[in-house]
Amino acid sequence: MTNSIEEIEYTDVILATGTNTTENHPVISSRVKRAVRQRGAKLIVIDPREIDLVKYATIWLRQKPGTDVAVLNGLMNVIIAEGLYAREYVENRTEGFEALQKTVAAYTPERVQEISGVPAEDLKAAARLYAKAAKASILYAMGMTQHITGTDNVKSCANLAMLCGMVGIEGGGVNPLRGQNNVQGACDMGALPNVFPAYQPVANDEVRARFEKAWNATLPSKPGKTIVEIMDAAHKGEIKALYIMGENPMVSDPDLAHVEASLNHLELLIVQDIFLTETAMLADAVLPSACFAEKDGTFTNTERRVQRVRAAVPAPGQAKADWEIIAEISVKMGYPMSYASAADIMKEINSVTPSYAGITYERLEEQGIQWPCPNTDHPGTRFLHKDRFSRGRGLFHAVEYIPPAEQTDAEYPIILSTGRVLYHYHTGTMTRLSKGSMERCPESLVEINPADADKLGIADGQTVKVTSRRGTLQAKAKITTRSDRGTVFMNFHFHEAAVNLLTNPALDPIGKIPEYKVCAVRVEAA
Partner 1 sequence: MEKKIPLNIDGRDVEAAPGQTILDVAREQGIYIPTLCHYSKTTNVGACRVCVVEVEKARSLVASCCMPVSPGMIIKTDTPKIRASQKLIVELLWASGDHNCLTCEQNGNCELQNLVYWLGIEKPRFNVDPPGYEIEKTNTVIQRDLNKCILCGRCIRACNEIQVNEILDFSRRGHRAKVGPAFDADYIDSDCYFCGECVDACPVGALTFKQARFAGRPWEIKKVKTTCTYCGVGCQMDLNIHDNRIIKVTGNRAYQQPNEGSLCVKGRFGLDFVGHPDRLKSPLIRKEKGGELVPATWEEAYDFIAERLAGIKKKSGPESIAGFSSARCTNEENYLFQKFMRAGIGTNHVDHCARL
Nearest distance in Å: CB 462, partner 1: 23
Binning the chain into helix, strand and coil, the percentages to the nearest 5 are 40, 20, 45
Residues of this chain, 25-64, that bind partner 1 according to CB under 8 A: 25-28, 30, 33-34, 37-38
284 forms part of the interface with partner 1 (CB under 8 A): yes
The interface with partner 1 within residues 391-430 (CB under 8 A) comprises 422-425, 429-430
Check binding of 143 to partner 1 (CB under 8 A): no
d(CA 138, CA 166) in angstroms, rounded, equals: 9
DSSP 28: H
Give residue 194's identity as a one-letter amino acid code.
Answer: N
Q: Is 517 in the site for partner 1 (CB under 8 A)?
A: no
Q: CA-CA distance, 290 to 301, in Å (whole number)?
A: 21
137 near partner 1 (CB under 8 A): no
**Per rule CB under 8 A, is residue 360 in the interface with partner 1?**
no
> Beta-carbon neighbour count of residue 429 at 10 Å?
21
- DSSP of 138-161, one letter per residue? EEE-HHHHSSTTHHHHHHHHHHHH
What's the rounded Cα separation, in Å, for the pair 90 and 86? 6
Smallest separation, CB 106 to partner 1 (Å): 30
Closest CA to 24 of 515, 494, 420: 420
User: Does the footprint of partner 1 cover residue 295 (CB under 8 A)?
Assistant: yes
- Check residue 149 for interaction with partner 1 (CB under 8 A): no
Q: Tell me if 496 contacts partner 1 by CB under 8 A.
A: no
236 near partner 1, judged by CB under 8 A: no
**Does 289 sit near partner 1 (CB under 8 A)?**
yes
User: What is the β-pairing status of strands 414-419 and 487-491?
Assistant: parallel
Question: Is 306 within 8 Å of 336 (Cβ atoms)?
Answer: no
Site string for partner 1, 159-198 (x = CB under 8 A): ------------------xxxxxxxxxxxxxxxxxx-xx-
Task: Show the beta-strand stretches assigned E in 166-291.
Answer: 174-176, 195-196, 200-201, 241-245, 268-273, 285-288
- Near partner 1 by CB under 8 A: residue from 54, 245, 395, 398: 245
Considering the rule CB under 8 A, would residue 509 count as an interface residue with partner 1?
Answer: no
Number of residues that bind partner 1 (CB under 8 A): 150
Is 379 a residue that touches partner 1 (CB under 8 A)?
no
x/- track of binding to partner 1 for residues 466-495 (CB under 8 A): ------------------------------
Shortest Å distance, C-beta 209 to partner 1: 14
Smallest separation, CB 180 to partner 1 (Å): 4
User: Is residue 435 a contact point for partner 1 (CB under 8 A)?
Assistant: yes
Distance CA 290, CA 474 (A): 35
Least Å distance between CB 514 and partner 1? 7
On whether the CB atoms of residues 417 and 65 are closer than 8 A, the answer is yes
Write out the binding residues for partner 1, residues 73-92 only, by CB under 8 A. Answer: none
CA distances from 51 to 14, 38, 122, 387 (A): 15, 21, 18, 36
Number of other residues whose CB lies within 10 A of the CB of residue 220? 9
Least separation in angstroms between residue 519's CB and partner 1 is 15
Among 47, 255, 303, 406, binds partner 1 (CB under 8 A): 303
Q: Nearer to partner 1 by C-beta: 26 or 413?
A: 26
Taking CB under 8 A as the rule, which mask of x and - marks residues 95-114 in contact with partner 1?
Answer: --------------------
The gap from C-alpha 522 to its chain's centroid, in whole angstroms, comes to 27
CB 10 → partner 1: shortest distance, Å?
13
Of 316, 379, 413, 442, the one binding partner 1 (CB under 8 A) is 316
Return d(Cα 197, Cα 306) in angstroms, integer.
14
End-to-end CA distance of the chain: 44
State which H helix or E strand residue 44 sits in.
Answer: strand 42-46
Q: Which one among 49, 64, 124, 305 touches partner 1, defined by CB under 8 A?
A: 305
CB contact set of 73 (below 8 Å; sequence gap of 6+): 103, 104, 107, 112, 156, 399, 401
By CB under 8 A, residue 319 contacts partner 1: yes
Q: Does 262 bind partner 1 (CB under 8 A)?
A: no
